[in-house]
Amino acid sequence: MCWNSLSVVVYSVVFCALLDFGPSRVLADEPSYEGNTTVRKGEPFKITCRVSMFQVIKWQKDGQTLVTDEHFNISEAVTGDSMLLSTVTANSASSIHSGSYRCTTQYNKFHELYVVTAQVTIKANYDYGDKYKIGEYKSKLILNCNIDGTQDPKYIWKWFKGDNQITTDSEDPHHVDVSENTLVVNRFIESDAGQYTCSLFNSNNNLIDKKVFNVVLKPYMKLPKTATFIEGEKMELECIVYGVPTPEVSWKFENTTLVPSEHIKFLPNKKNISNAILVLDPITMKDRGNFICSGKNTVVFEPVNSAASYVRIKDKMAALWPFLGICVEVILLCLVIFIYEKKRNKAEFEESDTDQGPETNNANDHSGGDVRHRK
């Protein structure tokens, strides 16, 4: 019985180990590929496959098994994280190298390689270097690719942003317009920044050549024209910032660059852009003047300045003076009314005394006559 119990334990451990390291775990690691997707005829290329070391390497091209020969060289290496790297290389690409490659038959995951035989070169309208195009906020951006030489009428142009093909935007056709070798963004904003590719295909839909644009948004900085604060209170002045990559923000007061201190602080805005909010606490009359925010990023090195914002500082007692003026006006008005009413009442009283004298005498005369008449 003890032996049987021990056997059950051993078999359980072995079974768990097989579950952990068996095919179910191996199959969980799909192969990943790196290397050329397009290569010119006569140039070298390399395709690398990264898989679990428990998988069996078996290179195929278009379903045909590959071995090291005069056309291909296959090598393998084990990495430090127990992964297997297998590489296919060739010193001189030719038409026989075009096709779909995979390193294991356990997955239908392929790496496509195109060998370009046509001598075609694409030129792109980069702003500088061999990859950057700079767009300005809410302005028109034009990406253009041209063939250096004569274009075959059977060639087809396609535009991509990342891995997604771009066509004229059906939801907003006025935003993006694609016309063969030209792409126009009519009102460029932050979400339009990214990696664009113009690709040229032949009639068989094989890639001939391509150019990649790294499109960035030039920093755009904006401040209110004027701002008013009360002396002694805290001032927060926010700079509206757009830009890709995210700009670095700095501030100037008149011609002086501002740096953090007990009086001056910088805060991030809602988009978490550092230094986008300038804080002066407390604000004084000396802080009255023009403020400017500037931005630059890793592509646009020259700082881009906002228009100046003029900050007005009101005396902290400024709100009291209008109130006191109103009080004085009310008091003067009451005083005028009082004097006027007093004079009017006095005049009416004197008139009533004057009118009452003759009437009283006439009354006395009438009464005396009546008395005499009765006698």
Nearest to 245 by CA among 175, 298, 319, 182: 298
pLDDT digits (tens, 9 = 90+) for 47-106: 999 988 888 889 999 989 999 999 899 999 888 888 889 999 999 888 889 899 999 888
Please indicate, yes or no, whether residues 164 and 189 belong to a single structural domain of this protein.
yes
Query: Is the same domain home to 175 and 189?
Result: yes
Check whether residue 229 and residue 310 sit in a common domain: yes
Q: Is residue 62 part of a domain?
A: yes
Mean pLDDT of 244-267: 95
Provide the residue type at 245 as one letter: P
Same domain, 230 and 288: yes
Q: Is residue 1 part of a domain?
A: no
Does residue 159 sit in the same domain as residue 114?
Answer: no
**Token pair in block for residue 131:** 């990859």
> Looking at the predicted structure, is the pLDDT value of residue 10 above 80?
no
For the segment 341-366, the average pLDDT, to the nearest whole number, is: 62
If one counts the domains in the chain, the total is 3
**Do 158 and 202 lie in a common domain?**
yes
Q: Which of 115-119, 187-191, 251-255 has the lowest mean pLDDT?
A: 115-119
CA–CA gap between residue 361 and residue 369 (Å, rounded): 13
Q: How confident is the model over 134-158, as a mean pLDDT?
A: 86
Most confident of 113-117, 125-129, 240-244, 356-360: 240-244
What tokens appear for 339 in the block?
């004097």
Are 102 and 145 in the same domain? no
166 domain residue, yes or no: yes
Residue at 364 is within a domain:
no
- The predicted structure's pLDDT at residue 168: 78
At 373, give phi and psi (nearest 5°): -65, -35
257: CATH: 2.60.40.10
Last residue of a domain, one of 314, 330, 348: 314
Average pLDDT of the segment spanning 278-291:
94
- Domain termination residue (choose one: 299, 314, 329): 314
Average pLDDT score over residue span 100-125: 82
Q: Is residue 273 part of a domain?
A: yes
Looking at the structure, tell me whether residues 210 and 265 fall in a common domain: no
Q: Do 102 and 55 belong to one domain?
A: yes
Query: Does this model's pTM top 0.75?
Result: no
Taking a C-beta distance cutoff of 8 angstroms, is the pair 218, 296 a contact? no
**By three-state DSSP, how is residue 125 classified?**
coil
Predicted local confidence at residue 119, as pLDDT: 62
> What's the confidence (pLDDT) of residue 322?
78
Please state, in angstroms and rounded to a whole number, the distance separating the CA atoms of residues 314 and 237.
Answer: 16
Inside any domain, residue 367: no
Same domain, 136 and 94: no
Dump pLDDT digits (tens) for 302-339: 999 999 999 999 887 766 777 788 888 899 999 888 88
Give the residue from 170, 187, 217 where a domain finishes: 217
Cα dist. 54→23, 74, 128, 345 in Å? Answer: 8, 18, 47, 117
Range of the domain at 171: 132-217
Q: What is the pLDDT of residue 197?
A: 95
Residues 86 and 137 in one domain: no
* Residue 261, domain member (yes or no): yes
194 belongs to a structural domain: yes
- Better-predicted residue by pLDDT, 175 or 345: 175
229 and 202 in one domain? no
